[in-house]
Amino acid sequence: MTAKPEFIGHLEKHGLYASVVSVNHLDELGAEIRSLHDRRLLDDAIFNYTGTKNPYHTPRLPKNMPGAKSIIVVATPQPILRTTFHRAGKEYKLEVPPTYWDTLRIIKRARDALKRAFLPCKYRFLYARLPQKLLSVRSGLAMYGRTNITYIPKFGSFYRPTAFYSDYESPVDYWQEKKALPSCDKCKACQKACPTGAIQSDRFLIKAHLCLTYLNEKNSKIHFPSGVKDSAHNTLIGCLRCQKACPYDKDVRLWYEDRLEFSEQETDYLLKGKFSGAKAKKIETKLKRLGLDLSSFPRNLKVLLRGESGKKRK
């Protein structure tokens, strides 16, 4: 058996996890997602989620690295971000799930770690837009849960996968069959916790167009469907219900980083939803540190605070 490439152990010493596959699998990665869409198992809105220009399911080798040899995927563990809003004399701690924030910093950290791991060789690492979960699982780095989110040892689903094309030719190609978490056979925790019925018992592939994240990442002008209860909302963007319910996330579900506070005036401003000029720019700069922008305000904050004050009245 070929030994594990040294760079993987080097990254682990710095708290990052990695795997590598041959670039020859690039087409297979995209084709697998496209075939779900062709078979009408994947909604158009999800298939086209990142736009129709360079979509994640039709990856192409970058023009400036035509001789790429491998695709390396790096997993960076990330906690939940907790931020504080002040409203009518009360303090509300609201959450932003892992992977929404510090994206550029995480990509840079992963690339820098790779560069260091290969020294004195100077390989190149170019950011790759492709199906990141599928790559993580096909490379053996992660496993799928029935949530359709992917899980690594120790950090569960609390990690961001980042893929790079590289001119490094790996002696090992970790490409393999997809694996599900061993407990998914008997467990229904995520399905029970899902507030919108996106996780179904008769199929592994979720109905992603029902997922709350799909609904609350849309522009604030778009209302939530009437069937979505106030109690469904649990984070400023996205949703953490299925992740918090999963036994594979038991060691990380209370892993938080506290970041920023919004005064009564700032909270009121965000809830009014009339954004323009310097004030809007200033608050948007602040929101960026949470991985947010003004597009999902006031809707998401309004509905979340409504649910939170409801809870306090009980």
Residues within the interface to ligand SF4 (CB under 6 A): 145-147, 181, 183-184, 187, 189-190, 193-196, 198-199, 206, 211-213, 239, 241-242, 245-248
Nearest Cα neighbor of 148 from 218, 242, 33 is 242
Does residue 82 contact residue 92 with C-beta atoms inside 8 Å? no
Nearer to ligand SF4, 111 or 233 (CB): 233
Residue whose structure tokens are 């993580």: 136
Tokens for 17, please give them: 């996890």
Q: In angstroms, give the least distance from the CB of 282 to ligand SF4.
A: 31
Q: Return the range that interacts with ligand B12 (CB under 6 A); candidates 1-9, 49-57, 244-252, 264-272.
A: 49-57
Nearer to ligand SF4, 247 or 307 (CB): 247
Helices 6-13 and 103-118 cross at an angle (nearest 10°) of 130
CA atoms of 210 and 206, how far apart (whole Å): 9
State the DSSP string of 120-182: TS---EEE--S-HHHHHHHTTS-EE-TTS-EEBTTTBT-EEEEEEEES---S--------B-G
* Of 167, 173, 217, 257, the one binding ligand B12 by CB under 6 A: 217
Chosen from ligand B12, ligand SF4, none, partner binding at 46 (C-beta under 5 to 8 Å by type)? ligand B12
Nearer to ligand B12, 172 or 208 (CB): 208
Question: Which residue(s) pair with 17 in the sheet?
Answer: 75
**Residue 59 within binding range of ligand B12, rule CB under 6 A:** no
Q: In angstroms, give the least distance from the CB of 217 to ligand SF4.
A: 11
Residues at the interface with ligand B12 (CB under 6 A): 32-33, 36, 42, 46, 49-50, 56, 97, 99, 131-134, 144, 147-150, 157, 159-161, 178-180, 204-206, 208, 211, 213-214, 217, 238-240, 242
